[in-house]
Amino acid sequence: MSLGIYVHVPFCRSKCPYCDFYSVVNRDEDIKEKFTERLIREIREGSELPWFFRTKPDTLYFGGGTPALLSTSQLERITGTVKDIFGGEELKEVTIEVNPGSTDLQKLKELRSIGFNRLSVGVQSFDDEILRRLGRLHKSQDSFRVMEDAGKAGFDNVSIDLMFGIDGQSFETWETSLHTAIDLRPEHLSLYSLEFQEGTVFTRLLREGRMKETDPEEDRRMYETAHDELERAGYEHYEISNFAEPGCRSMHNMKYWSLQEYLGLGPGAHSYLRREDNGLGQRFYNRPDLKAYLDGTDIRVMSEPNDISDDASEFMITALRLTEGVSKEEFRDLFGVGVWDFFGDVARLQFQSFVQTGHALEDEDRIALTLQGFNVSNRILSIFV
Amino acid sequence: MDHKEHIDHIRNFSIIAHIDHGKSTLADRMIEKTGLVAERDMKEQYLDNMDLERERGITIKLQTTRLVYKSQSGEEYIFNLIDTPGHVDFNYEVSRSLAACEGAVLVVDATQGVEAQTLANVYLALDEDLEILPVLNKIDLASARPDETKEEIEEMIGLDCENAPLISAKTGQGVDELLERVITDIPAPKGDPDAPLKALIFDSKYDNYLGVIIYARIFDGRVKKGDIIRMMSTGAKYEVTEVGYCAPGLVPTNELFAGEVGYICGSIKQVADARVGDTVTLDQRPCAEALPGYKKVQSMVYCGIYPAEGEKYEAVKDALEKLQVNDAAFRFEPETSQALGYGFRCGFLGLLHMEIIVERLEREFDLAVITTSPSVIYKVVKTDGEVIMLQNPSNLPKPQEIDHIEEPMVKADIMIPNDYVGAIMDLCQKRRGTMLKMEYLTPTRVLLHYDLPLNEVIYDFFDALKSKTRGYGSLEYEFDRYQKSNLVKLDIMLNRDLVDAFSMIVHESNAYQRGRFVCEKLKEVIPMHQFEVPIQAAIGQKIIARETIRAYRKDVIAKCYGGDISRKKKLLEKQKEGKKRMRQFGTVEVPQEAFTAVLKYDENK
């Protein structure tokens, strides 16, 4: 198994009212330079952790925030340091998130030239009114252009994000966005039902009664329609929110769903690595505090080391997000016993009740959720915590 | 000091009052004034020693205490202050406590006036021929209206209040005078110390070391360690291991004499062997007849108590046994429910008694239990002539086997300000009551006499009365008779499976309304499932009400990246936690609170 490396770049031009990923609005070039230097130091210092270097990274993912706000040379220095320290020879997937409207062809070409080979484009919607509601700075035209430019720049692995279940978004608007997306033929799509996260503007508006939650029935209709249409268009619905052309799944994100190691760098980034002594997981994260980070403070917070049941339960609640679910054999390889031996009869019976209602599947080899099960996955996953 | 002189300096009395009229506070003040408890050790309401009692502001178990009072004349007196429980459920215990006294201090809140319970307790005291010393409390409050209250007492009870002490138990104002008045107004006990022992048990409790402690008033004779005593109702004999006074801790003494109040221990294993109201005598030299008034207490209300998910049957059984050792009025026996498994059918004096037992299980024994709908005891007369006293609705025989059903009726006295007469008559009518008499006790205060089915009284009647009268209404009731009635069994089905724990017996005229109510309530409290859950109320095969809980449609975290799974995990853990508090019935999960929610019946909603 190889390592995944995630770099969190916490800068945005403006804060989207639904987003709870850590970012600050800052146009100061000086700060970005300081950030770059600090990040490079973190990568170098990180090598002191005993876990490092056990595996070489095969994925590198720049997320945020808006990582493309860093200059090409800053990005190159960072990727260069990652390769220096962790080794770059096994890197297969190098992704960067970009926004339509703020990324031109020139920038895309530069990104491609310094080794990025996958784009994740924050399209969100092809309806300008919805984009306005979402607080996005771009228009649908920008999305068309960036998709075209991506091709010109030589990207052959592009993912786009779309959102649904937004107050004011009709079913028809959603379907149109969906069709438009399919026509653009990206290799990968992530479709998110709008979630009201603690601390966001949307959540405040919701509490104040100035915004509505989409009726669950309508929300699921949008979701199920997307499933049907994307599958018909040749995409595989491989994770609750993710669709890909065959062979184009996000290698990096797959690590989150299969208990593989990843190292998060930058403020607000999360990591999961295996301890050398017992092979069990150790989670840790950097506090979302740019100022402290730039001051050179150690912002790393270690979680309690996982015991085997933490690992097993985290494996289940992430792997069951995948359409293919959990392979019983893989579970046995990882934890030494069968999945029901591990979780017990009560869990098995509870799971069975979801099998009976068509929300889950179980056969000789695997257990998994159905599309219907995805809709209510929390209920099912909670069996395993 | 000879015996005569000794008992001339004893005063045995109770304080009687309506809830919140300040009985416990006055007792505290008396204890403080007589120096029994240092001020710094005073807990609020010293005598209410269960947390539960202090929280609810009511006295459940009696507590008796011996105070030594140095009077203004310089002579020392012994005051035996016998506390009484403060709720209609415990009337019998009140009457036995009063029987141990010569007098009673009647505390009336000068801001509230006379309440139904005040009256009821006064009547109990008069039944025992007690001298009653009326006292007006809360005189320090601006809203106190002592003159009106005096008039009320005179009018309603016929007690002369001209010289009634005006006190504030809270501030201590007037309490010195009251203590003097106890000496002058309440008679000293009488009794022949050389006659055969005749002692009244007015309370008993279990102690791990001493066994049952009998609290007794000695009417005649004497008792000491080594005596063989005999319970007159059962003939059971015990050797006395210790006697003494309650101060209020146990203070051993050599001998208790006629006129005195104290405790007797004799390695008695459970309080049911030393029942309140029974007479204790000496085995060798018994008295000719027992003291009057002994009754074996009857349970009026029954319900099932079941271990909640994950709780052990044995642990619940142990706890119930321990509670029973100390509570002769509480009974239980094993039963099984299809829905709830193994549990116990428990009998109580009333709903409050039931709530207290359940709360004690939870607090003192740290057990989670499920209680089923409380039920009264129905008399079921079968077509073959057999009579069943039915405690558990789910055991009702098939309709074709039933000739008729009788239900217990109570005589209820409801006292309310006259503004609320309409509202309360309406309430009583909805509860199938028949008004027997309406008395204007004063121009603004009405006493309604009602004939009511007990089963209507136990469904939240008291709370409804309180809310409809802004807390001013009060209620007293006692069992009157069994009466033939048109009763049916209401069953509840969840996802088409009958849940016997919800079955209840209701009057036919209320069945539809009650069925609808229960379905609506269950719809509120039962969470959505991954399938639709129909809730049905049925009489026999006939469905009379139905609600449907929709299947949940969406419960998913769309975004799960950045590798931060801790928040997601927490959310799932919370969901799992919630699930643990659920009880599985067939395919349906029901939260524990569903069982209490269906009891909160308000016909106005």
Specify the length of chain A in residues.
385
Query: For residue B572, which residues of chain A lie inside 8 Å, CB to CB?
Result: 317, 378, 381-382, 384-385
Q: Is the pLDDT of residue B62 over 70?
A: no
Contact (Cβ atoms closer than 8 angstroms) between residue B95 and residue B293: yes
State the pairing for strand pair B211-220/B301-307. unpaired
With 0-12 CB in 10 A as exposed, 13-18 as middle and 19+ as buried, what is A325?
Answer: buried
- Residue B492: per-residue pLDDT: 94
Among candidate residues B500, B288, B335, B508, the one with its CA nearest the CA of residue B405: B508
CB contact under 8 A, B553 and A217: yes
Q: Which amino acid is at B332?
A: F
- Residue B605: per-residue pLDDT: 47
Q: Is the pLDDT of residue A53 over 60?
A: no
Structure tokens at A217: 């029935």
| A270: nearest CB among B559, B562, B575 | B562
Residue range B504-512: average pLDDT?
90
Q: Is the pLDDT of residue A33 over 60?
A: yes
Residue range B127-137: average pLDDT?
92
| Alpha-carbon gap: B394 to the closest alpha carbon of chain A (Å) | 29
CA A264 to each of CA A5, A60, A283, B345: distance values in angstroms, whole numbers, following the listed order: 6, 10, 10, 59
Contact (Cβ atoms closer than 8 angstroms) between residue A181 and residue A189: yes
Contact (Cβ atoms closer than 8 angstroms) between residue A14 and residue A102: no
| B572: nearest CB among A6, A271, A317 | A317
Give the E-state strand segments of B271-422 in sequence order.
279-282, 301-307, 331-337, 341-348, 369-371, 378-382, 387-390, 402-417
- Residue B48: per-residue pLDDT: 46
Please tell me the least confidently modeled range out of A102-116, A256-270, A354-368, B441-455: B441-455
| Alpha-carbon gap: B309 to the closest alpha carbon of chain A (Å) | 13
Condensed to tens digits (0 to 9), the pLDDT of residues A176-223 reads 999 999 999 999 999 999 999 888 999 999 999 999 999 999 999 999
> How far is the C-alpha of B366 from the C-alpha of B508, rounded, in Å?
39
Where does A3-255 sit in CATH, by number? 3.20.20.70
Residue range B531-560: average pLDDT?
91
Contact (Cβ atoms closer than 8 angstroms) between residue B203 and residue B97: yes
> How far is the C-alpha of B200 from the C-alpha of A303, rounded, in Å?
67
| B530: nearest CB among A8, A357, A381 | A357
Give the E-state strand segments of B292-349 in sequence order.
301-307, 331-337, 341-348
CB contact under 8 A, A303 and B566: yes
Among candidate residues B556, B564, B529, the one with its CA nearest the CA of residue A164: B556
Tell me what percent of the residues of chain A surpass a pLDDT of 70.
98
State the pairing for strand pair A57-64/A3-9. parallel
> How far is the C-alpha of B480 from the C-alpha of B459, rounded, in Å?
18
State the pairing for strand pair B474-485/B504-507. unpaired
Q: Is the pLDDT of residue B80 over 60?
A: yes
Q: Is the pLDDT of residue B18 over 60?
A: yes
Segments in B165-312 forming alpha helices (H)? 175-185
Query: For residue B571, which residues of chain A lie inside 8 Å, CB to CB?
Result: 378
CB contact under 8 A, A357 and B560: no
> How far is the C-alpha of B245 from the C-alpha of B273, rounded, in Å?
21
- Residue B326: per-residue pLDDT: 73
CB contact under 8 A, B557 and A63: no
Q: Is the pLDDT of residue B86 over 50?
A: yes
Among candidate residues A227, A211, A136, A116, the one with its CA nearest the CA of residue A167: A211
CA B24 to each of CA A70, A297, B48, B276: distance values in angstroms, whole numbers, following the listed order: 75, 61, 7, 22
Q: Hey, CA dihedral for A65, A68, A70, A73, is it positive or negative? A: positive
CB contact under 8 A, B568 and A317: yes
Q: Looking up tokens 């219907």, which residue turns up?
A: A372
Cα angle B478, B482, B487; round to 5: 115
Contact (Cβ atoms closer than 8 angstroms) between residue A245 and residue A39: no
Task: For A8, name the nearest residue in chain B, comparing CA atoms only.
Answer: B562
**What is the 8-class DSSP label of residue B189?**
P
Cβ neighbours for B249, distance < 8 A, ≥ 6 positions apart? none
CA B88 to each of CA A378, B302, B356, B602: distance values in angstroms, whole numbers, following the listed order: 49, 17, 14, 22
Q: Which residues pair with B440 in a beta bridge?
A: B446
Q: Is the pLDDT of residue B120 over 50?
A: yes
Please tell me the least confidently modeled range out of A296-305, B459-468, B479-488: B459-468
The number of C-alpha atoms within 13 Å of B205 and in the hemisphere containing its C-beta is 9
Contact (Cβ atoms closer than 8 angstroms) between residue B108 and residue B114: yes
Does B563 contact chain A (CB < 8 Å)?
Answer: yes
Tell me the average pLDDT of chain B: 86
User: Residue B133 is inside which H or E element, if any?
Assistant: strand B131-137
Specify the length of chain B in residues.
605
> How far is the C-alpha of A327 from the C-alpha of A331, rounded, in Å?
6
Q: Is the pLDDT of residue B560 over 90?
A: no
Q: Which amino acid is at B399?
A: P
Task: For B572, name the nearest residue in chain A, comparing CA atoms only.
Answer: A382
Taking only Cα atoms into account, the Rg of chain B, rounded to an integer number of angstroms, comes to 27
Contact (Cβ atoms closer than 8 angstroms) between residue B370 and residue B500: no
Please tell me the least confidently modeled range out of A349-353, B29-33, B136-140: B29-33
- How many other CB atoms sit within 10 Å of the CB of residue A345? 10
Contact (Cβ atoms closer than 8 angstroms) between residue A77 and residue A40: yes
Q: Is the pLDDT of residue B40 over 50?
A: no
Structure tokens at B596: 């209490």
Condensed to tens digits (0 to 9), the pLDDT of residues B182-206 reads 999 999 999 999 999 999 999 888 8
Query: For residue A63, which residues of chain B lie inside 8 Å, CB to CB?
Result: 561-562
pTM, two decimals, is 0.66
Interface of B with A in 571-590 (CB under 8 A): 571-573, 575-576, 579, 587
> How far is the C-alpha of A78 from the C-alpha of A81, rounded, in Å?
5
- Angle of helix A308-319 relative to helix A328-335, nearest 10 degrees? 160
Condensed to tens digits (0 to 9), the pLDDT of residues B259-297 reads 999 999 998 988 888 888 999 999 999 999 999 888 777
Residue range B299-328: average pLDDT?
84
| A376: nearest CB among B556, B563, B579 | B556
- How many other CB atoms sit within 10 Å of the CB of residue B599? 19
For the CA atoms of B282, B236, B348, B368, the dihedral, rounded to the nearest 10 degrees, stands at 110
Q: Which residue did the predictor score with more confidence, B582 or A2?
A: A2
> How far is the C-alpha of A14 from the C-alpha of A65, rounded, in Å?
10
Q: Is the pLDDT of residue B39 over 50?
A: no
The CATH 3.20.20.70 domain(s) of chain A lie at 3-255
Identify the band that residue A112 occupies on the pLDDT scale cut at 50, 70 and 90.
very high
Segments in chain A forming alpha helices (H)? 29-46, 72-86, 105-113, 128-133, 140-152, 171-184, 201-207, 216-232, 251-256, 290-294, 308-319, 328-335, 339-356, 371-375, 377-381
> How far is the C-alpha of B193 from the C-alpha of B232, rounded, in Å?
19
> How far is the C-alpha of A321 from the C-alpha of B579, rounded, in Å?
21
Please tell me the least confidently modeled range out of A32-36, B440-444, B531-535, B543-547: B440-444
Tell me what percent of the residues of chain A surpass a pLDDT of 90.
89
- Residue A108: per-residue pLDDT: 97
Interface of A with B in 258-287 (CB under 8 A): 262, 264, 268-272, 283, 285
CB contact under 8 A, A314 and B569: yes
In angstroms, the first-to-last Cα distance of chain A is: 25
Identify the band that residue B309 occupies on the pLDDT scale cut at 50, 70 and 90.
low
| Alpha-carbon gap: A269 to the closest alpha carbon of chain B (Å) | 7
Q: Is the pLDDT of residue A303 over 50?
A: yes
Cis link prior to A358 (omega < 30° from 0)? no
Condensed to tens digits (0 to 9), the pLDDT of residues A238-288 reads 999 999 999 999 999 999 999 999 999 999 999 999 988 888 999 999 999
| B558: nearest CB among A195, A262, A318 | A195
Condensed to tens digits (0 to 9), the pLDDT of residues B199-238 reads 999 988 888 888 899 999 999 999 999 999 999 988 899 9
| A195: nearest CB among B559, B573, B575 | B559
Identify the band that residue B330 occupies on the pLDDT scale cut at 50, 70 and 90.
confident
CA A14 to each of CA A11, A23, A25, A33: distance values in angstroms, whole numbers, following the listed order: 9, 9, 6, 19
Q: Which residues pair with A11 in a beta bridge?
A: A24
> How far is the C-alpha of B500 from the C-alpha of A353, rounded, in Å?
23
| B587: nearest CB among A192, A256, A353 | A353
CB contact under 8 A, A8 and B566: no
Which residue, among B552, B556, B559, B580, would best test binding to A if mutated, counting the most A CBs under 10 Å from its CB?
A: B556
Cβ neighbours for A288, distance < 8 A, ≥ 6 positions apart? A10, A22, A267, A268
Tell me what percent of the residues of chain B surpass a pLDDT of 70.
91
- Residue B581: per-residue pLDDT: 67
Identify the band that residue B45 occupies on the pLDDT scale cut at 50, 70 and 90.
very low
Among candidate residues A107, A100, A150, the one with its CA nearest the CA of residue A126: A100
Does A182 contact chain B (CB < 8 Å)?
Answer: no
